[in-house]
Structure 1
Amino acid sequence: MRRLEVPKLPFLPSILSSAVALGLITALPTAVANEVYTFDTTTVAASSEADSLQDTAPASVSVIDETELNKPGNTHLADVLAQTPNVNLSAGASRGKYYQIRGIGERSQFTDTVNPSVAVVVDGIDMSAMTMGATLLDAKQVQVLRGPQGSQQGANAIGGLINIIANEPSDTLTGDVELTLAEYNTQNLSAAVGGPISDKVAYRIAAQRNTSDGFINNDYLNRDDTNNIDETLLRTKFRIAATEDLDLDLTAFYANIDNGYDAFALDNTRHTLSDQPGHDRQETLALSGKSSWYGNANFIQETAISISKSNLEYGYDVDWTNPVFQPAANNHTDNYSRDERGATLDVRFISTEESRLFKDSTGWSGGLYYFYRSSDLTRDYTKNLTAFTSEYETNRYAGYGELSTNLTDKLTWINGLRLEQDSTLYSDNTGERSKPTEHLWGGRTALEYQTSERQMLYGLIARGYKVGGYNANSSLPNELRKYESETLWNFELGAKHNLLDDTLHTQVAVFFQQRDDAQVNATRTELGAAFDYTDNAKKAYSYGLEAQAQWQASDAVRLHGSLGLLQTELTEPGASFDGRGAAHSPEYQFALGVSFDHGSGWFSGLDVEGKDEFYFSDSYNSTTDAYALLNARFGYQQDNWSVTLWGKNLTDEDYIVRGFNFPNNPYKAGVAEDYVQLGAPRMFGVTTKYAF
Structure 2
Amino acid sequence: MKLVNCNSTIRLRPVTALLAIACSFTPLSHAQQSSLEEIIVTAEFIEESVLDLPNSVSVIDSSTIETRGAQHLEDLLNLAPNVNFATGASRGRFIQIRGIGERSEFQDPIINSVGVVIDGIDFTGIASGASTLDVKQVEVLRGPQGTLFGANALAGLINIVSNKPSTELTTHISAGIEDFGGQELSAVVSGPTSDTSGYRIALKRYQSDGFTEDVFLERDDTNNIDETTARFRYTADLGQRLAVDLTAFLADVDNGYDAFSLDNTRQTYSDEPGFDRQKTNAGSVKVIYEISDALSFEGLLSAADSDLDYGYDEDWSHLGICNGTACDTSLFGFDWFYSSFDRYQRENQNVSFDARIKSDTWVIGVYHRNQEIELDRVYTFNEGDFNSVLDTKNSAIYGQIQLPLSDRLALTSGLRLEHRDTQYRDNNGNQASPDESLWGGRIALEYNADNGALYYGLISRGYKAGGFNLSGDLDNRDREFDTETMINYEVGIKNTYLDGSVQLQVAMFYQDREDIQSRQSIVRSIESGIVGGSCPCSFTDFVGNASSGSNKGVELETTWLVNDKLELIASVGLLDTEFDDFLTFDHVNADRDTGTPFNLKGRSQAHAPDYQWVIGGAFAITDHLIISGSIEAKDGFFFSERHEERSDAYELLNLELTYQQENWRVALFGKNLSDELVQTRGFGSFGNDPRKFYETEPYNQFGAPRVVGVRAVVDF
1:584–1:443 distance in 2 versus 1, CA, 3 Å? same
Distance 1:40 1:489 in 2: 33
Corresponding residue of 1:640: 663
Distance 1:89 1:244 in 2: 45
Corresponding residue of 1:193: 189
Contact 1:287 1:307 in 2 (8 A): yes
1:525–1:594 distance in 2 versus 1, CA, 3 Å? same
Of 282-291 and 112-121, more deviation after overlay is shown by 112-121
| Structure 1 position 211 matched with structure 2 position 207 | yes
Corresponding residue of 1:409: 407
Corresponding residue of 1:243: 239
1:32–1:510 distance in 2 versus 1, CA, 3 Å? closer
Q: Could you tell me which amino acid in structure 1 is paired with residue 343 of structure 2?
A: N
Distance 1:618 1:573 in 2: 10
Distance 1:652 1:298 in 2: 55
Alignment root-mean-square deviation, CA: 1.9
TM-score norm. by structure 2 comes to: 0.89
Corresponding residue of 2:177: 181
Distance 1:42 1:573 in 2: 42
Contact 1:41 1:51 in 2 (8 A): no
| Structure 1 position 225 matched with structure 2 position 248 | no
Corresponding residue of 1:330: 338
Q: Could you tell me which amino acid in structure 1 is paired with residue 472 of structure 2?
A: S
Contact 1:616 1:658 in 2 (8 A): yes
Contact 2:28 2:567 in 1 (8 A): no
Contact 2:321 2:691 in 1 (8 A): no
Superposed CA offset, 1:531-573 (max 9, x none): 4321111102100000010001111111111100001112335
Report the Cα offset of residue 193 of structure 1.
1.2
Superposed CA offset, 1:463-502 (max 9, x none): 0001112334322223312211111100000001100111
Corresponding residue of 1:673: 697
1:647–1:69 distance in 2 versus 1, CA, 3 Å? same
Corresponding residue of 1:284: 280
Distance 1:39 1:46 in 2: 21
Contact 1:64 1:141 in 2 (8 A): yes
Of 526-535 and 216-225, more deviation after overlay is shown by 526-535
Corresponding residue of 1:47: 44
Corresponding residue of 2:644: 621
Corresponding residue of 2:609: 586
* SS of match in other structure, 1:69: helix
Distance 1:567 1:169 in 2: 43
* SS of match in other structure, 1:667: helix
Report the Cα offset of residue 53 of structure 1.
1.1
* SS of match in other structure, 2:148: coil
1:29–1:593 distance in 2 versus 1, CA, 3 Å? closer
Corresponding residue of 1:602: 625
Superposed CA offset, 1:70-90 (max 9, x none): 115211111111111000000
Report the Cα offset of residue 515 of structure 1.
1.1
Matches of residues 142-181 of structure 1 in structure 2 within 5 Å? 142-181=138-177
Corresponding residue of 1:265: 261
Superposed CA offset, 1:151-199 (max 9, x none): 1110010000000000001211123100010011100111111110112
Q: Could you tell me which amino acid in structure 1 is paired with residue 700 of structure 2?
A: V
1:559–1:217 distance in 2 versus 1, CA, 3 Å? same
- Please, which of 66, 84, 99 is the counterpart of residue 95 of structure 2? 99
Q: Could you tell me which amino acid in structure 2 is paired with residue 676 of structure 1?
A: N
Matches of residues 532-551 of structure 1 in structure 2 within 5 Å? 532-551=541-560
Q: What is the percentage of aligned positions where both structures have the same residue?
A: 43
Contact 1:246 1:295 in 2 (8 A): no
Of 64-73 and 557-566, more deviation after overlay is shown by 64-73
* SS of match in other structure, 1:296: coil
Matches of residues 304-323 of structure 1 in structure 2 within 5 Å? 304-323=300-319
Distance 1:597 1:351 in 2: 44
1:611–1:29 distance in 2 versus 1, CA, 3 Å? closer
* Gap runs ≥5 in structure 2: 1-20, 323-334, 526-534, 585-597
Q: Could you tell me which amino acid in structure 1 is paired with residue 615 of structure 2?
A: L
Report the Cα offset of residue 615 of structure 1.
0.4
- Please, which of 383, 386, 389 is the counterpart of residue 385 of structure 1? 383
Of 324-333 and 599-608, more deviation after overlay is shown by 324-333
| Structure 1 position 339 matched with structure 2 position 347 | yes
Of 425-434 and 414-423, more deviation after overlay is shown by 425-434
Distance 1:31 1:404 in 2: 37
- Please, which of 266, 271, 274 is the counterpart of residue 275 of structure 1? 271
Contact 2:26 2:64 in 1 (8 A): no
TM-score norm. by structure 1 comes to: 0.92
| Structure 1 position 566 matched with structure 2 position 575 | yes
Q: Could you tell me which amino acid in structure 2 is paired with residue 604 of structure 1?
A: I
Superposed CA offset, 1:415-455 (max 9, x none): 00000000001111222111111000000000111103531
Matches of residues 410-449 of structure 1 in structure 2 within 5 Å? 410-449=408-447
Q: Could you tell me which amino acid in structure 1 is paired with residue 309 of structure 2?
A: E
Contact 1:32 1:601 in 2 (8 A): no
Corresponding residue of 1:351: 359
Contact 1:544 1:567 in 2 (8 A): yes
Distance 1:404 1:31 in 2: 37
Superposed CA offset, 1:74-121 (max 9, x none): 111111111110000001111111100001000111112121100000
1:480–1:84 distance in 2 versus 1, CA, 3 Å? same
Distance 1:613 1:438 in 2: 38
Contact 1:307 1:344 in 2 (8 A): yes
Distance 1:515 1:477 in 2: 26
Contact 1:194 1:202 in 2 (8 A): yes
Contact 2:60 2:138 in 1 (8 A): yes
Report the Cα offset of residue 296 of structure 1.
3.4
Corresponding residue of 1:521: 519
Q: Could you tell me which amino acid in structure 1 is paired with residue 175 of structure 2?
A: L
* SS of match in other structure, 2:41: coil
Report the Cα offset of residue 328 of structure 1.
9.4
Superposed CA offset, 1:647-678 (max 9, x none): 01111111101101222122344532100011
Report the Cα offset of residue 40 of structure 1.
3.9
Distance 1:520 1:137 in 2: 34
Contact 1:28 1:634 in 2 (8 A): no
- Please, which of 498, 501, 512 is the counterpart of residue 499 of structure 2? 501
Corresponding residue of 2:456: 458
* SS of match in other structure, 1:599: coil
Contact 2:26 2:616 in 1 (8 A): no
Matches of residues 639-658 of structure 1 in structure 2 within 5 Å? 639-658=662-681
Distance 1:551 1:63 in 2: 16
Corresponding residue of 1:15: none
